[in-house]
Amino acid sequence: MTDKNDPSSQDREISHETDPGASKSFWIACTLLLVIVGWMASGFVGEDSAEPLLTATEAPPPPAVVVRRSTAETVQLSFSAQGQALPERDTEILTEAAGTVVSLPVEKGQAVTRGEVIAALDASRADAALAQAKEERSRAQRELDNAQTLLDRGSATVDRVVSARADLAAAQAQVSAAEETLANFTILAPFDGTIEELMLNDGEHAVAGTAVARIVDSDPITVSIQIPQRSRKQIEVGQRAKVAFITDETREGVVAFVAAAASPDTRTFLAEISIENADRSLRPGISAEVIIPTREETAHFVEASVVSLSPEGATGIKTVEDGKVKFHRIEIVTAEVDGLWATGLPDTAEIITVGQGFVRDGETVRTQTENDADAGDPVPLAEADQ
């Protein structure tokens, strides 16, 4: 035991350099440090990690897109418009004489032929006038015969014969006028058609100019349409047309008329399509859709979803050519329910159907077909790469 009062023990200093425990801890720490530095420098996480870490200098892979090979086809373009069926002729039949209606041998809706009696007026006075004119003609004829006989005998002059001939001509004119007047009391159908209306009844009095009936001729039937200014040059007389009526009937027709000037109100051109209607099954007034084939174009059929805009705002479709994106300006020539027909692409093209919104013109891309994409190909698409 050391005595505190011993001067030799107070002057002694404690030294750690000579402590064996302190020296051992120092060397253990150095060894651990060297092991950690060596492990980090080796580039391995552990025995199971066989791939090196990506370096900052490695470039990411190009974006992937789905493409579909498309081949241009010949498509028939056409002009379509809504129209209305009109009769070939629609006429009111007027009386040219005054009288009481004594006969109406037709009914409303009845088909009639040209020259068939539609109505008859009381013509008793006209009959009497015709009979009187005929008697006068007979008298004038006898006077002429007598004058000619006397002239042949030398008992009459030439002037008497000339006067008798003039009287006979006047009497004949009176007979013709009386016959025409009598004919006006019988109203005839001016053409084949259907009685659409009857304006008079039996026993009614009609004055000259009164409408007796309305007759409609629907063979052929005409469908009228309006053509916009931009489509006028595509439609010409003689073109064939397909007409679908609202009654589910479809007929073939021909363009019979195209207006030379546009309507000042609508700025459209009137056109008429003539359709044979011998059985008169097509009724005037019904609605119809007219389709007129105009020209053929070579185009691609694409979904509306593949159409995109360039930075300049142009409408186009992106394809892949030699591994790079190519933007093609297109023109939509016609549209259908499930897609569009477009021109401006090569005859054969690899159209980008998925990922076109994430790649630019001239950019290198990886491609996979729609079949591969549908089969669950694990190649990531452009959307996932962004």
At a CB cut-off of 8 Å and minimum separation 6, what does 216 contact?
A: 87, 89, 90, 91, 193, 194, 196, 284
The count of C-alpha atoms lying within 13 angstroms of the C-alpha of 308, restricted to the half-sphere facing its C-beta, is 20
Lowest mean pLDDT among 212-226, 242-256, 266-280, 371-385: 371-385
DSSP 8-class letter at 175: H
For residue 37, give the 3-state DSSP assignment. helix
Question: In the chain, helix, strand, coil percent, each to 5?
Answer: 25, 35, 35
- Confidence class of residue 385 from pLDDT cuts 50, 70 and 90? very low
CATH 3.60.150.10 fits 64-75+297-385, yes or no: no
Tokens 């037709």 label which residue? 106
What is the CATH number that goes with domain 82-87+218-295? 2.40.30.170
Class of 93-121+185-217 in CATH? mainly beta
Q: How far apart are CA 293 and CA 334, in angstroms?
A: 12
Query: What is the average pLDDT across 135-161?
Result: 86
Look at residue 166 and tell me whether its pLDDT is greater than 90: yes
* Continuous H helices in the chain: 7-10, 20-42, 124-153, 158-183, 370-374, 382-385
The predicted pLDDT at position 86 comes to 93
Q: Assign 27 a pLDDT band (cuts: 50, 70, 90).
A: low
Secondary structure letter of residue 45 according to DSSP: S
Predicted confidence band at 21 (pLDDT cuts at 50, 70, 90)? low
pTM of full prediction above 0.75: no
Q: Please, are residues 232 and 270 in contact by the beta-carbon 8 Å criterion?
A: no
Tokens 């199971």 map to which residue? 48
pLDDT in tens, 195-242: 999 998 888 888 888 899 999 999 999 999 999 999 999 999 999 999
Q: Residue 280 corresponds to which tokens in the numbers above?
A: 């008169």
240: β partners:
254
Kindly provide the b/e burial profile for residues 248-265, where b requires at least 16 CB atoms within 10 angstroms of the residue's own CB: eeebebbbbebeeebeee
